[in-house]
Amino acid sequence: MAIATVNPFTNETVKCFTEDTAERIERAIATAETEFKNWSRTGYSERAGLLRKVAGIMRARKKELATLITTEMGKLIAESVGEIELSAAIVDYYADNGERFLADQPVETQRGEAVIRHSPIGVVLGVEPWNFPFYQVVRFASPNLMIGNVVLVKHASIVPQCAIAIEDIFRDAGAPPGLYTNLLIPGRAVAALLDDHRIRAASLTGSEEAGASLAAAAGKNLKKSVLELGGNDAFIVLEDADIDKAVEWAYVGRMNNTGQCCVAAKRFIVVDAVADEFIGKFVARMSHLKVGDPLDAGTQLGPLSSEEAAVHLADQVRRAVADGAKVLLGGKRIDRKGAFLEATVLTGIKPGSPISYEEMFGPVAAVYRVADERAAITLANDSPYGLGGSVFTNDIERGKRVADQIDTGMVFINHPTWTAPELPFGGVKRSGYGRELSGLGVEEFANKKLIRVSGLNDPF
């Protein structure tokens, strides 16, 4: 796949980039390994100081960086600005809390003393996706740099300018060469990197296929990996929910980032008693969105990330209809230049049909009617994915009981699955393993080293 910026609003190529040569990759790894020896000896205050400078530069360049995001992958400009603000907040979060998260942990022992010390492990590789080109990177890089690791980043090939901009920010903040390195390489080159003994671990956010490939390469080389993969989040609406609020959150949960979010609400599971009301209001809310240039603040429905993505999603809708689904809204490509698809609402998808197990990555909502709470839980769990989910009810204790029965890494009550620096993020089943963000995210690639002090005459 070519490394190029193709504006999905016009499907025109904006800028092309040359892939890194084998020689440049070797220099990058060697420089990173050398820098690790220096960075691992710095104190937490120095590491935090660098991160705060990175966050400050992001905020100062917010408009410029947001425009890059929108140009490369089509995100509405207001959402791109929000992504930069969130990214800066995550960087600051680890600068502010990293030392506390990584403090020695005393271990109770019968004699002597013992502590768990969090030590860096070395060069860590991050393989990052296009849908949140800054947020995904900083939630990987920030905790690792606070630990004392250094990072190599292979970003998605459709957002090369965002990838380069992040490396520039670290350089301008004063990061030494090798601390943060962007690699312009195709996905097929990732597995070979893990054969290199100097790269100690890897994290990937992306597709199941990419995750399986990276996990296999990491496993073969006895290296730890963290994977955040696809999702098919259930959005359960119980009969005692506030329907108007549920509908508004359903719209936000489905249409954020034009639906191109791993934790977007995708399967709307509604109890029969309120299904007619919910469906009618939800279809109305999804209707009549202003289609246009994502750089225009008035646009409500922009393009998907690429023409390939739009073609794939339209084919999923076609297959769903062929298998008996009913289109309540949309369902077609929009007759204009660019990677556009109508906002779409489907119903009548049979549980167990092939399309019910697929992630639809875009502005397509699938609504399911169920008899009761028990049926809602059963259907929510009938998925190979287990990333996030939502439960809408006015009875919070009931919501907690339902949440406890949903087989996912995250469940939100009266809110679509969301993210914040302090909330651990990750899934189970085919949605991956490991956690990012919060205090859990800072521990994934740390050596939890036991240091034990005994008296010279202590027995075994």
State pLDDT tens for residues 381-390. Answer: 999 999 999 9
Q: Which residue has the tokens 């016009």?
A: 10
Each residue of 352-374: pLDDT tens digit?
899 999 999 999 999 999 999 99
Per-residue burial over 185-204, b if 16 or more Cβ lie within 10 Å, else e, is: bebeebbebbeeeebbbbbb
Assigned CATH for 233-413: 3.40.309.10
Which pLDDT score is estimated for 456?
74
Across 9-18, average pLDDT:
97
pLDDT exceeds cutoff 70 at 159 = yes
Q: Which residue has the tokens 């390489």?
A: 185
pLDDT exceeds cutoff 80 at 457 = no
Alpha-carbon distances, residue 79 vs 62, 66, 170, 225, 391 (angstroms): 12, 8, 23, 30, 25
Cβ distance 287 to 438 under 8 Å?
no
Each residue of 88-103: pLDDT tens digit?
999 999 999 999 999 9
Across 438-444, average pLDDT:
97
Give SS3 for 433.
Answer: strand
Confidence of residue 2 (pLDDT cuts 50, 70, 90): confident
Cβ distance 173 to 183 under 8 Å?
no
Please choose, from the candidates 409, 325, 299, 308, the residue with its C-alpha nearest in 3D space to the C-alpha of residue 361.
308
The percentage of residues in the chain with a pLDDT greater than 90, rounded to a whole number, is: 97
How wide is the angle at C-alpha 343 spanned by C-alphas 341 and 344, nearest 5°? 105
Q: Which residue has the tokens 């939800």?
A: 282
Which pLDDT score is estimated for 458?
77
Helices 272-286 & 243-255, crossing angle to 10 degrees? 50
| Partners of residue 434 on adjacent β-strands | none
Each residue of 283-342: pLDDT tens digit?
999 999 999 999 999 999 999 999 999 999 999 999 999 999 999 999 999 999 999 999
- Report how far residue 91's alpha carbon sits from residue 49's, in angstroms, rounded to the nearest whole number: 11
Each residue of 209-223: pLDDT tens digit?
999 999 999 999 999
The rounded mean pLDDT for the chain is 97
- Report how far residue 34's alpha carbon sits from residue 178's, in angstroms, rounded to the nearest whole number: 8
Cα-trace Rg, the chain? 23
The percentage of residues in the chain with a pLDDT greater than 70, rounded to a whole number, is: 100
Topology of 3-229+431-451 in CATH?
Aldehyde Dehydrogenase; Chain A, domain 1 (3.40.605)
Confidence of residue 134 (pLDDT cuts 50, 70, 90): very high
Across 150-164, average pLDDT:
98
What is the domain partition of the chain in residue ranges? 3-229+431-451, 233-413
Which pLDDT score is estimated for 365?
98
- Report how far residue 369's alpha carbon sits from residue 349's, in angstroms, rounded to the nearest whole number: 10
Each residue of 226-270: pLDDT tens digit?
999 999 999 999 999 999 999 999 999 999 999 999 999 999 999
pLDDT exceeds cutoff 80 at 208 = yes
Confidence of residue 1 (pLDDT cuts 50, 70, 90): low
* Residues carrying an active site annotation: 228, 262
